[in-house]
Structure 1
Amino acid sequence: MVEFAYKNPTKLIFGKNKISQLKKELEQYGKRLLLVYGGGSIKRTGLYDSIMTELEGFDVFELSGVEPNPRVTTAQKGADMIKEHKIDVVLAVGGGSVIDCTKLIVAAAYYDGPAWDIVIGKHKPTQAVPFGTILTLAATGSEMNSGSVITNIDTNEKLGWGNPLVYPAFSILDPTYTFTLPEHQTVNGIVDMMSHLIEQYFNEATNTTVQDGMIEGVLRAIIETAPKVIDNPTDYDARETLMLAGTVALNGSLRWGYSGDWSTHNIEHAVSAYYDIAHAQGLAIIMPNWMSYVMPKHVDRFEKFAKNVFGIQKETAFDTAKAGIDALRAFWTSLNAPSTLAQVEIDDTKLKEMTEHCMIYGTFGRLEPLGYDDALAILKMSL
C-alpha cells in the first residue's frame, strides 16, 4: 500500500423516519434553501410532501428535472439560481445523479465562469455552498463521497471530477424510500455498487489483505440480498443491506492505500457520452469483458475473486478465474441486466469516437494500464 490519510466529513443519518432530523441539520446554515431533485418520483411517492412539511419556515426554491446522466447545463442553472436567490443551503433528494449534479451546483455557485471549467480542471473551487442529501436509490455512494460525474452533451463528454469541498454535510438514508423503485432501477443500483467494489478489488497494490476481506464480504452480502429485494421490494432488511452496501462501496473506506483500476468506468463513460444509457447498464456490459481481457495477465487475482466471492474452485487457477467472471456475468443476467451493447441498441457506428473518448486522459487503468487498441478491443467484445 501507499501511505495515506483519510477523512470523511459527511454525517450519515441511517434508518426509518430519520427525515425528522432534516430541519435541525439544515437550519444551522440559514433559511434560504434550494431543493434539487429529478423527474418527479418524489412527488408521486409522497416524499416531497414530507420534505416540505419538515421545511416549514424555510424559503424554498426548486430545481427539478436533473437527468439520469446529469448535464452541465442543469448544474449551471442551479448555480445561477443560488446566485440570484442568495441561497444559504442546498438539499439534494434522489440518487447519485441528483447528488452529483448538486456537487457541481454548489461549487459553481462561487465561480463566475462556466461550470464545465470545474469538471475539466480549468478552475479549482475554493468555496462551496453547504448541502445535504436524502437518498432514494442505493447505487453510487455519492451521498458520502466527494466525487461527481457530469455530462456535456454539446461536446459528447462524460467526465468525473471531485473536490473535498463537495462532501455532503449530511446524508439521510431511510431504506423505506427505496421500496417503490422500479425493478430496473433497483437492478441498476445493484450493478453500480458491485462495479465500484470490483474496480477497487482489482488494484495496483501488493498488500491489501484487510481491504480484500472487506470487499469480498460486501460483495457476498449483495449477491445474497439482491434476489430477496427483487422478489419482495418492501423487504426492509434487504433494502437496508443494499443501502448500506452502496454507501460503503464508495465512501473511500475500502481503498485505503490504493486507488483501484477504474478502466471499466472510463470505457463506460465513453459509451454513455454518445448514447444516453443508464450508467449501470454500460457497466454490466463492459465489466465482464474487461475482466476477460486482462485476466490472463492476473490469473491469481481473478482466481481469488472467484473463490472468495462466488465460492468457485476448478482444477486450474485459470479455469477458476474464468469461472468467476462467468459467474458475475450470469448473476447480473439473472437480474435482467444487459450483457451486450446490442441489447441497449448500440452498434459499432461510433466505435472510433467512443475509443477516442477513452483516451481523453491518455493511458488508463491501474491493475493493467490500457491504451487505444485495448479500449477498442474491449468495446468490440461488448458489442
Structure 2
Amino acid sequence: MIDASVLTISDFVKLLFWCFGAPFLISLVFSLMFWIFLRFRVISFTYGLNLMNTIIDRVVGYSIFWSLSILGLILLTMAAFWILGILTLASISFNVFVTFLLYCAIVVIPSLTYYFVMEQGFNALKKRGVLDLKDWDYVKGGKLYRWPDATYKYLKRKKWYNDFLLNTKDVASHIYKLSNVVFVSPSANKGRIEEKLYDLFPKKFDFILMDYSQNIEGKAITKSNGKFTYVDGSYDGNNLKSNLAKLGMCSSDIIMDIRGCIWYSTDKDDDTGEGVTRVFREYHKSLKVGGVIIIDAVQLKSKTITRNQIFYKGMNLVLGFQEISTYQKIQGFIDNNDFIDKHFHTEIVGEGSNRLAIFKKIS
C-alpha cells in the first residue's frame, strides 16, 4: 500500500506517469498502429481480432463499473472516519484510496484509450468501405452476440410479446380478418423476437425474416410448414421490394422494424432525414394498402440509457434498452414529413418498454 504522506512531488509525478501516462501512451500507439494496419489492409479483421475487440469492450465496462463502485465505498468509509474523528483510520483509508486509484488506472486507462480511438477508427473504416463492424458484432465472440438473447428474455419479463399481439390487433384488426397474412421482418437479427411472435400469432400468418448481416450465428431456424422462413444471405431493408420479389411475393401486410433498417437509416451527421424518408418509401412500395409498419417507440432518457449500459457491461444485468428507440431517433424527421403524412396514418400504442409506433398505409 502506498503511504501518500511520505511521497514527494517527484515521487507522485513518477507514479502518475507509470500508472496513467505509460498505459495511455502504450494503448494509444497500439490502437493507432492497429487502425493503420486495418486501413491499409496490412492485416485482415479475423475472428481472433474480433474476440480481442469484444474482450477489451467488456474490460472497459467491468473495470469502470467496479472501480467506481469500490472507490466510492472507500471514499464513504474515509468520510465516515473523518466525521467520527478517527483520523488514523481516515488516513489509512486515504492511502487505500490512492493505491487503488493508481492500480485501477493501469487497467482502465489503456482500455478506455483503445475504446475511444477505435470507436472513431471503426467508423472511419466503415465510411471508407474497408470494414463494417456490423458484420462481426453478431458472430460468436462479437460484442453483440449475446444481446439479442438478453433482449428476448427482457421483453418476455415485460410481457412485450403479448402486448404486441393485443395492440396490433386493436390498431390493425382488418389485417387479422384476412385469410392469409404476410409478416415481414427486414432486420431480424437472430429472429428470437419473431420466433416468439410466431408461436403467439394465428397460423394463417406467414413470417418472412431477413437481415443485412449474413454472419449471424444462432439465428432462428426455418419451419418445415413454410409459415416461418429465415431467408439465407444478405438482404438490405433498403431494397425490400426487390427482396420480396426474389421470393415470389408482391407485397406484405405487416413490416416490423425493431431497431433495424429505419434505426440505421439516420445518424448524427444527418440533418435532413433523407435516409428515413428513403426507407419509408421502400416500405410503402412493399406494403398493401391498409398494411402497417411497426417500430419500437419506448421513450428513454439519456441517464436511463447510461444506467442500462453500465449495469449490462459491468454486471451483465439487463435493466432496459441500451439505446434510444427507433421512434425517438427519427421523430424529428417524421414530424411534418410530407411523404409520411400523405401516405400513412400514425398511431402510438402501449406503454413503457412495450410502446410501439404503427404506421398504417392509407394511399
Compute the TM-score of the two structures, normalised by the length of structure 1: 0.23
Which of 1 and 2 has greater Rg? 2
Greater helix content: 2
